Amino acid sequence: MITSLLGLMGNILIITATAKTNKLQNRCGIMIATLAVADTIICFYLVQLRVLQLFDWYFIPNQYCFLVSLHGIFCLSVQSFMGLSLGIDRLMAVIAPIRYKLLPKWVHGALIVSALIYAMIITGIGAFDMGNTTVPVCMPPTAFNVFSRFIWIGASFILGLFTLVVYAVAQYKCARMGRHEN
């Protein structure tokens, strides 16, 4: 719970800094602030789950767990996709810095909207797959039923792989640029 509260404070600082500092109100800064908003909601969600556990909220129907976790599940999905979106943004900035500066703002808006659409789809699949099975402890994986859990974990795994590849390519490009400058 302490980690979630620290994360909550840190993300609120990021959101506040972005809102008050003009230099941070650029494409990348807005994407980071969007990620910070999702992270803030996730931190609230994790604190909420811990408080419910303190009040012995165990062995509940899956549908109650899902409904209590709806905002957390949605934001966890936004978080996954925004990690990839930020990686794509950084890769574009490294590969073609001049073209990156000329990119229309809608490109970054499309990345953010894509994250929201992805989260709606994953959350919607979970909503349609709710059931009355009893879950011992309400957490994000147990909020999903069998089919939707498989989809959520699989999609998160694939997004994670893509994110690693994008960041690895960006790191490789940065390292090559550094060698060329010396």
Determine the average pLDDT of the residues in 2-13. 91
Kindly report which listed range (1-10, 16-25, 149-158) carries the lowest average pLDDT score. 1-10
User: What per-residue confidence (pLDDT) applies to 57?
Assistant: 87
What percentage of residues in the chain have a pLDDT greater than 90?
A: 76
User: What per-residue confidence (pLDDT) applies to 3?
Assistant: 87
**Residues present in the chain in total:** 182
Q: In sequence order, which residues have a C-beta less than 8 Å from that of residue 2 and are 6 or more positions away?
A: none
Q: How many other C-beta atoms are found inside a 10 Å radius of the C-beta of residue 166?
A: 20
Determine the average pLDDT of the residues in 7-14. 94
Specify the DSSP element, H or E, that contains 137. strand 134-137
Residue 66 has pLDDT above 70, yes or no: yes
State both tokens at 157: 């795994």
What are the Cα distances from residue 160, in Å, to 21, 49, 84, 86?
Answer: 31, 25, 8, 13
**Alpha-carbon gap, residue 48 to 152, rounded angstroms:** 21
pLDDT in tens, 13-43: 999 999 999 999 998 999 999 999 999 999 9
pLDDT in tens, 102-142: 999 899 999 999 999 999 999 999 999 998 899 999 998 88
Which residues are bridge partners to 61 per DSSP?
134
